[in-house]
Amino acid sequence: MHVTTNAEKLIEKTKLNKFHWMLLFWGALLMLFDGFDLTIYGAVVPTLMDEWGISAVQAGRYGSYALFGMMFGALIFGTLADKLGRKKIILICVAIFSLFMLLAGLAPSPEIFGLFRFITGLGLGGMMPNVIGLISEYSPEGMRSRMIATIMAGYSIGGVIAAFLSMLLISNFGWESVFFFGAIPLLFLPFLAKVLPDSVGSLVNKNDQKGIQKILVKANPTYTPSENETFVLNKPKETSSPVKNLFTEKRGLLTVMIWLTYFMSLLMIYGLNTWLPKFMTEAGFPLGSSLSFLLALNVGATIGAILMGWLADRWGVGRALILFFLLATVSITSLGFATNMILLYVMLAIAGAATVGTQNLTHSYTSQFYPITMRSTALGWALAVGRIGGILGPTIGGILLASNLTLQLNFFIFAIPGVIAAFAVFLANQQGRKVITDEPKLEKVAT
């Protein structure tokens, strides 16, 4: 007897089991190194400026090279994954960023360092949308925000580790030592190749029935494979270009607003993480103390990532995003005015939660509006456009530093994007409801 099974529905209707915990473990571990990279340049930049004799504007430019790489990596590998499968792309990207993290620590000049940072960015930029896409695809119903928030807590923990290792290693072993830590994922490759599942969406497109059955048995223990079984998804396969599909079926305004949200969010995050230690040393704090501010920012981001995933599944992810972007604006502005050290650390932790934590939510927010067959493309392009904001963050920070503005004005300028992002989410919510309402529902397929 011939059986037709909706693979996507079967995955959604399962409960959290050891398959999901394995995905969460590897997802969080890979995100840890993405977060490590986010923070590490800000931690070493005061030392690099002294050692290589580079100006603030040059340092901002070198800080942006990795982000250029991330932008191109997200575009290229995000789109390729919907065709080749996420697993293959994740393995390629992990190999690229780990190797070039190691080489960046061995760079003999700022120019070579910048090149290696660009290639590191290619790997990191391609990895993130695919890991998020994979977790999103295998999330049980009603748990997507929490699962993505859980792996993104790894991203925030990576920032904490980068700040902590910098405080321990830079003064004793030089700035190069912290980059060597970033090469550790090379050791993960054999394990990732063995345990990571491929995307069910790409396996359905290839008609790989046996491959799908193997994954579904692990993802949903109640599932029993049948001999003559065909698999379908909730929404039929899109036939035209996946990038073009981001603007069809009333998705145009939604896509643009999501891109604007990512742009503003990453501008705040990369601007703060790159320049916070330098802003604080310029304001008269010693380097060790300035690195501890970076630590507070990322500890806040870690707690925020977990808390916000939990709140988003209860309030709705759109409402949570608007609130936290506005909180980011208030907390970042207040950094320029805090004179009490305890208050300063608290506001930094809140700023970390409301920037990095909020950015983590945007991934599950974006995933809900696009069908499974174009989710990596949607996330890849949103991250790529967002990286332009990320590129501007370090550059703007360098210009602000060179302009000798007050600390208050510097932080106020980095806070403005929070208001713009909140407004963009508000508009995306309005349009997103129309898109989801008009989405053709696939009927349950009878056997």
* DSSP notation for 356-391: HHHHHHHHHHHHTTS-GGGHHHHHHHHHHHHHHHHH
CA end-to-end distance (rounded Å), the chain:
9
Rg of the Cα atoms in the chain = 22
Q: Of 41, 39, 45, nearest to 282 (Cα)?
A: 45
Residues 12 and 143: beta-carbon distance below 8 Å: no
- Amino acid identity, position 188: F
Q: Residue 444: its pLDDT value, please?
A: 31
pLDDT tens digits for 178-226?
A: 889 889 999 999 999 999 988 887 777 777 778 888 888 888 888 777 7
Q: Residue 187: its pLDDT value, please?
A: 94
Residues 235 and 373: beta-carbon distance below 8 Å: yes
Strands 228-232 and 2-6: parallel
Q: Give pLDDT < 70 ranges for the chain.
A: 1-2, 82, 234-242, 287-288, 290, 435-447
Could you count the other beta carbons within 10 Å of the beta carbon of residue 341?
Answer: 11
Domain boundaries, the chain: 1-235, 236-439
Q: Residue 204: its pLDDT value, please?
A: 78
- Amino acid identity, position 174: G
Q: Of 414, 311, 300, 416, nearest to 364 (Cα)?
A: 311
Q: Residue 441: its pLDDT value, please?
A: 41
- Using the CB atoms, write b or e for 272-300: b if 16+ within 10 Å: bbbbbbbbbbbeebebeebbbbbbbbbbb
Phi/psi at 216 (nearest 5 deg)?
-65, -35
Q: Whole-angstrom Cα distance, residue 158 to residue 325?
A: 22
Write out the two tokens for 95. Answer: 């190999």
**C-alpha pair distances (Å), 397 with each of 4, 225, 270, 276:** 56, 56, 9, 9
Q: Whole-angstrom Cα distance, residue 441 to residue 2?
A: 23
Within its chain, how far is the Cα of 367 from the centroid? 13
Q: Of 273, 270, 294, nearest to 393 (Cα)?
A: 270
Domain 1-235 and domain 236-439, same fold? Reply is yes
Write out the two tokens for 418. Answer: 């929070």
Q: Residue 240: its pLDDT value, please?
A: 46
CATH of domain 236-439: 1.20.1250.20
Q: Residue 241: its pLDDT value, please?
A: 56
The contacts of residue 166 (CB under 8 Å, 6+ apart) are 40, 43, 44, 178, 291, 294
Q: Whole-angstrom Cα distance, residue 250 to residue 240?
A: 16
Q: Which fold has domain 1-235?
A: Growth Hormone; Chain: A; (1.20.1250)
pTM, to two decimals: 0.75
Angle ∠(437,443,446) on CA atoms, nearest 5: 170
Q: For residue 225, count CB atoms less than 10 angstroms from its CB and return exposed for 0-12, middle for 13-18, buried for 19 or more.
A: middle
Q: Residue 420: its pLDDT value, please?
A: 95
